[in-house]
Amino acid sequence: MKKRFYLVLTLAVMAVACFTSCKSNLKPLASDYIQAEPQPLELIAGQVPVTINVTFPANWFDKKATVVVTPVLRYNGGESAGSSYVFQGEKVAGNGQTISQKNGGNVVLKSSFAYIPAMQKSELYLAFKAQIGNKPVDLPAVKIGDGVLATAALLSAATEAPAIAADKFQRVTTEAYDANLLFLIQQADLRVSELKKADVTNWKSTVKSAELAPNQNVDIEISAYASPDGGYELNEKLSEKREANTKKYLVSELKKEKVSAPINAKYTAQDWDGFRRLVEKSNIQDKDLILRVLSMYSDSEQREREIKNISAVYSTLANEILPQLRRSRLTANVETIGKSDAEITVLAASNPRALTVEELLYAATLTPVAAQKATIYNKVIDLFPNDPRGYNNLGVVQYAQGKISAAEDLFKKATNITSSLPEANLNLGYVALANGNRTQAEQYISKAANAQGFGNAQGLLSVLDGNYAKAAQSFGSTASNNAALSQILSKDYNKASGTLNAIANPDATTDYLKAIVGARTNNLSQVTSNLKHAIAKDSSFATKALNDVEFAKYLKDSSFLNALK
């Protein structure tokens, strides 16, 4: 009997000893020891970053244990694992971070998940893979967060207004026509040889044609000069006489031709400006020295003395430069009044060949109808195939209709003609963003600095980079969903409200953004009223709002739930 008792006792002690030696010191880690930031997680620059602070309490970590810790984001249809971290006990020879059994330890885990829309409704876990020696230990994953704030994903390049390559149409244009009457040195008499010159004869014909044309006006300027050699008083009298004689002659000639154009006459005693221009264009010896003298001295007499001291070139000046300054310049300012808007509109439809490319491009701006714009731009392409603006602007019409691929082909045709066309490069940048090609978009947009809307494109890139303050600055005063989104993300809710209210044609996204502003400023009525408007325009926003962390605090509110019906 005693033997049996001792045998049972021995077996019991061995069992206890075995249980004690085989038992793991690792226990499930309570969520109280884990803190994830931010809460909720947030989409930034295409990623969902997270920083996790973990405390291993004293006497939790076995000296022979190895624990691999991995953040995992679980969502409907899948999960994404973040960066894994390895921790080990004091008796493990490995490369992991050692944790003291007696004192425990604090560690920081940084990780990031490539965002997909399904992550908006998700749960963040910290998963453990542990072993003591060679024996695995089952440690359950610990839930440490809910949902991803994905408001930045509302950014849409497809809703940006692409850039029109502008026409250069001017209804009223003014062009100056010049002719010169030259005089002999120290003389003011008009010479017959000068009056019969071809350029003077042609100039008078231009004036007469402008006077007769029903769509032109003309006025005349006479500018008489003396060369800067000689004294100032002499040159002043000389230039004054040249002006008087020229005006007298011109009045007589215009009277014969029955031209009533007004004449404005003036004279300049010493034409130093003309002298400088002629010297700059010349190849005469010591040109730089002469120009230096002009910049150093402002007194006319001193200038003349210093230039005459340059004896090697003065004879050249006297023969080649100065004679050209003894003149009366005749200027006819011809103002041409172009076709009216009504005339351009009629011709664009009935006889586009009668219009210039600038008039035809301008005609497209006179109609708000997309189909009519497209017809006109197709005419531009037919009649002016080497002008890239027709292709670009037709692409703009296609882009606004959601025909992104067709628009892209047209923008590329424009850049094939002129690779530096800023509007086409900007628009190709929008296409690349709409297709999710961030790198290509940046390459195109870098060539578009002079295009209208360049700031908006930079704003899009800055939002994608997570630089929301810079984005808001780039959008400036633009009233668009994307501009308002940048202001919401940079937490400027007053400005975002003003931008949203200023949008000319608000859509469902506009209303949804207003609801987000309401949620962030604790205005439930603003949330519900704007969600109703958004859902009325696009029913998909009901499901979106139900899964959106922006509205998580209202999920049990009846007025919020009623707004989603």
Residue 165, pLDDT score:
97
* Alpha carbons 431 and 398: distance in angstroms, whole number: 12
pLDDT in tens, 359-395: 999 999 999 999 999 999 999 999 999 999 999 999 9
pLDDT in tens, 503-545: 999 999 999 999 999 999 999 999 999 999 999 999 999 999 9
Mean pLDDT of 418-447: 95
Residues 6+ apart with CB under 8 A from 191: 182, 183, 184
Please confirm whether the linkage preceding 40 is cis (ω < 30° from 0): yes
* Alpha carbons 247 and 266: distance in angstroms, whole number: 10
Question: What are φ and ψ of residue 93, in 5° steps?
Answer: -95, 90
Instruction: Write down the mean pLDDT value for the chain.
Output: 92
What is the reported pTM? Answer: 0.75
Q: What percentage of the chain has pLDDT greater than the value 70?
A: 95
Helices 454-464 and 422-434, packing angle to 10 deg:
30
Nearest to 111 by CA among 88, 80, 140: 80
Q: Are 74 and 125 in contact (CB under 8 A)?
A: yes
* pLDDT exceeds 70 at position 38: yes
Q: Model confidence at 294, in pLDDT bands (50, 70, 90)?
A: confident
pLDDT in tens, 107-163: 999 999 999 999 999 999 999 999 999 999 999 999 999 999 999 999 999 899 999
Residue 311, pLDDT score:
59
* pLDDT exceeds 80 at position 12: no
* Alpha carbons 127 and 125: distance in angstroms, whole number: 6
pLDDT in tens, 56-65: 999 999 999 9
Q: Per the structure block, which two tokens stand in for 95?
A: 């490369």
Q: Are 247 and 263 in contact (CB under 8 A)?
A: yes
Q: Which domains does the chain have, with CATH numbers?
A: 31-149 (2.60.40.10), 157-171+340-452 (1.25.40.10), 174-337 (3.30.1330.60)
* pLDDT exceeds 90 at position 100: yes
pLDDT in tens, 444-476: 999 999 999 999 999 999 999 999 999 999 999
pLDDT in tens, 15-36: 333 333 344 478 999 999 999 9
Mean pLDDT of 474-491: 97
Count of Cβ atoms closer than 10 Å to residue 364 Cβ: 24
Residue 67, pLDDT score:
97
Residue 286, pLDDT score:
81
Helices 388-400 and 422-434, packing angle to 10 deg:
30
Nearest to 387 by CA among 423, 417, 365: 417
Mean pLDDT of 199-205: 95
* Alpha carbons 531 and 512: distance in angstroms, whole number: 6
What single-letter DSSP state applies at residue 317? I
Q: Estimate to the nearest angstrom the gap between the alpha carbon of 63 and the chain centroid.
A: 58
Place of tokens 């991803």: 148
Q: What percentage of the chain has pLDDT greater than the value 90?
A: 84
Type of residue numbered 121: K
Residues 6+ apart with CB under 8 A from 343: none
Q: State which H helix or E strand residue 412 sits in.
A: helix 404-417
DSSP secondary structure string, 229-274? Answer: SS-HHHHHHHHHHHHHHHHHHHHHHHHHTT----EEEEEESS-HHH
Q: Are 75 and 65 in contact (CB under 8 A)?
A: no
pLDDT in tens, 220-265: 999 999 998 878 889 999 999 999 999 999 999 999 999 999 999 9
Mean pLDDT of 491-512: 97
pLDDT in tens, 149-166: 999 999 999 899 999 999
First to last CA, the chain: 80
Query: If you compute the radius of gyration of the chain from its CA atoms, what whole number of angstroms results?
Result: 41
Name residue 129's beta-bridge partners.
Answer: 68
Q: Are 406 and 398 in contact (CB under 8 A)?
A: yes
* Alpha carbons 320 and 323: distance in angstroms, whole number: 7
Residue 299, pLDDT score:
82
DSSP secondary structure string, 510-559? Answer: HHHHHHHHHHHTT-HHHHHHHHHHHHHH-THHHHHHHH-GGGGGGTT-HH
Q: Are 413 and 390 in contact (CB under 8 A)?
A: no
Mean pLDDT of 335-346: 94
